[in-house]
Amino acid sequence: MPCSSHTRNPFTAAETPAVGVNVEHLTKSFGSHLVLQDVSFAVEPGEIFVLMGPSGSGKSVLLRHVVGLEAPSSGRVLVNGKDALAAQTREHERIGMVFQSGALFNSLTVYDNLALYPREHHTATEPGIREKVMHALQILSLEDTAQKFPSELSGGMKKRVAIARALVMEPQLLLYDEPTSELDPVMSATISEIIASLKDEYHVTTIVVSHDRELALNIADRVGILMDSRIIFLGTPAELREPKDPQVAGFLYPKIDLKHPRFKKLET
Amino acid sequence: MKQLTSILEGFGSTLQLFLRALSYAGTLPRQRARFIEQCYLIGYTTLPIVAILSFFIGAVLALQAGYSMQNFGAMQFIGSLVGLSMARELGPVMVAILLAGRVGSAITAELASMKVNQEVDALETMNIPPARMLVLPRLAAALVMVPVLAIIADLVGWFGGAIVAKYTSFISIEPEAYFSVLRRYMKFQDVMNGLIKAEIFGLGVVLVCCNIGLNTRGGPREIGASVTRAVVVSLILILVLDYFVTKVLI
């Protein structure tokens, strides 16, 4: 869903260069439950990095560290060289996050959801905000939803509104938590196309947490796989197509074996 | 020991939330619309139930006082008894209890639902502090509206007492006599003390309900549990504060 060419782009991508992310020896545990253990990787400015892994492997927890919503047990996360947990980092670096549920403000219309950030931070006048909001809605083909409330939208629309809301922030770093979960294959492909086109148009650094193999193989610059609290694979989609590690191959290309089902093995 | 730790933690986080909200006080003029909306919710929508309850509390107070005093020939003092009781104690406490049940529960339910649906997390990622956008307008609205509700509760309660005093056969005191005694034995300080108490209770209730809402984790069941906890903690807080504030003000 590319941006329409006849509309002036009100976003100032040139003034907001993409930022890099460094995850350094990150360990996180909740009580006695270890979620992340000595996880380290770097995301280059302007890159699409897809983090994959089984359910409950700590992908979303890692993403929450990047945006400063969780404090590490040890290690650190740097955004543009600054500690992600520091309040100043969020003031200086614009980090947009698309939550798995969308996390839209249910009491506000779609328009007001998008206008909230520029209104609160006085980044534009009301006509300027209107222009930015309508442009973001147009990019994602959501012009007709401006006056609707989130409860009136479908799952796919909510995800797109959440992306549009993040886009209005003119982010330097855009994080997606399971953007294609609970969507049909066509809508999943659409969301993948949106993520890739936003990166191309706005040169925003993108981290996507997902189970979606097709998304990772088609839009990622690099892919990481998180399993058993550690990163077990870090490489390009080309390397991922023919994985050498049997654990990675087993996760990405599982065979459905009706004669020897996995859940029976788990029980024993 | 665990419960004591939990109580101290709750007290600490509520105090922290208060100080954080206070640090954004300068942003209040920009949040006019939210402030007015909260004034409407805390003040206007609570007004009918405050009026009904205070009328009947004043009425029953006059009735009980009349019944008890008829043997001592002290019926003429009913006006001062109702007046002082409403202004110093029952008005502020009743307004605070209604605030906890009606407004506090709604605040906790709304904020807990926002927390569970990750709307609060979304605010934080946008660098919009929840203490500024969600707590400050509610605190400011409580600061303005609770004393107004307390004054209305006092006035309606006094009138409730006056009507009962006139139309109850074994009391039969004319409103002029009732209000004359009320005026004679009541000082401006009595009303002010009541308003100070109402203000303290109101801020306490709103803070507790905001804090419990914003610290909710889980799903719909936890939202329900948070609402119950917020109301229970608020009621305990009102009565505990009532003792200590009264002791200071007397």
What ipTM describes this predicted complex? 0.85
Amino acid A16: pLDDT: 65
Query: Which among A67, A69, A103 has the least Cβ separation from residue B117?
Result: A103
Q: What is the mean pLDDT of residues B99-110?
A: 96
Tell me how close the Cα of B119 comes to any Cα of chain A, in angstroms.
5
Q: Which chain A residues have a beta carbon less than 8 Å from that of B119?
A: 103-106
**Cβ within 8 Å, pair B125-A121:** no
* Confidence check: pLDDT of B34 > 70: yes
Q: Assess if residue A236 is contained within a domain.
A: yes
Tell me how close the Cα of B85 comes to any Cα of chain A, in angstroms.
41
Query: What percent of chain B is predicted at pLDDT more than 70?
Result: 100
Query: Which among B119, B127, B128 has the least Cβ separation from residue A103?
Result: B119
B165-171: long-range contacts (C-beta < 8 A, 24 or more apart)? Answer: B165/B62, B165/B66, B165/B78, B165/B79, B165/B82, B168/B62, B168/B63, B168/B66, B170/B66, B170/B67, B170/B70, B171/B62, B171/B63, B171/B66, B171/B70, B171/B75, B171/B78
* Confidence check: pLDDT of B204 > 90: yes
- Residue A35 touches partner B, C-beta closer than 8 Å: no
Amino acid A4: pLDDT: 42
Strands A21-30 and A230-235: what pairing? unpaired
Round the average pLDDT of chain B to a whole number and report it: 94
Amino acid A15: pLDDT: 58
Amino acid A1: pLDDT: 46
Q: Which chain B residues have a beta carbon less than 8 Å from that of A117?
A: 126, 128
**Cβ within 8 Å, pair B119-A105:** yes
Q: Assess if residue B22 is contained within a domain.
A: no
Q: Assess if residue B204 is contained within a domain.
A: yes
Tell me how close the Cα of A225 comes to any Cα of chain B, in angstroms.
25
Question: What is the identity of the amino acid at B5?
Answer: T
Q: What is the mean pLDDT of residues B239-248?
A: 95
Q: Assess if residue A4 is contained within a domain.
A: no
Q: Assess if residue A40 is contained within a domain.
A: yes
Q: Which chain B residues have a beta carbon less than 8 Å from that of A68?
A: 124-125
Q: In chain B, how many domains are there? A: 1
For an interface test with B, the pick among A60, A70, A77, A99 (most B C-beta atoms closer than 10 Å) comes out as A99
**Cβ within 8 Å, pair B126-A68:** no
Amino acid A265: pLDDT: 65
- Residue A13 touches partner B, C-beta closer than 8 Å: no
- Residue A241 touches partner B, C-beta closer than 8 Å: no
Q: Assess if residue A3 is contained within a domain.
A: no
Q: Which chain B residues have a beta carbon less than 8 Å from that of A97?
A: 121-122, 125
The DSSP line for B85-141 is: HIIIIIHHHHHHHHIIIIIIHHHHHHHHHHHHTTHHHHHHHTT--HIIIIIHHHHHH
Amino acid A10: pLDDT: 59
Q: Assess if residue B12 is contained within a domain.
A: no
CATH number at residue A219: 3.40.50.300
Q: Assess if residue A19 is contained within a domain.
A: yes
Q: Assess if residue B10 is contained within a domain.
A: no
Q: What is the mean pLDDT of residues B47-66?
A: 95
Q: Assess if residue A73 is contained within a domain.
A: yes
* Confidence check: pLDDT of B96 > 60: yes
- Residue A257 touches partner B, C-beta closer than 8 Å: no
Q: What is the mean pLDDT of residues B117-139?
A: 95
Nearest to B146 by CA among B101, B213, B94: B94
- Residue A213 touches partner B, C-beta closer than 8 Å: no
Q: Assess if residue B94 is contained within a domain.
A: yes
- B213 or A11: whose pLDDT is higher? B213
For residue B47, what are the domain limits?
Answer: 30-249
Amino acid B65: pLDDT: 92
For residue A199, what are the domain limits?
Answer: 13-267
**Cβ within 8 Å, pair A97-B128:** no
Contact indicator for A174, A201 with CB cutoff of 8 Å: no
Amino acid A7: pLDDT: 47
**Cβ within 8 Å, pair B122-A105:** yes
Tell me how close the Cα of B101 comes to any Cα of chain A, in angstroms.
22
| Segments of chain A with pLDDT less than 50 | 1-7, 13-14
Q: Assess if residue A7 is contained within a domain.
A: no
Q: A157-175 pLDDT, tens per residue?
A: 998 999 999 989 989 999 9
Q: In chain A, how many domains are there? A: 1
- Residue A151 touches partner B, C-beta closer than 8 Å: no
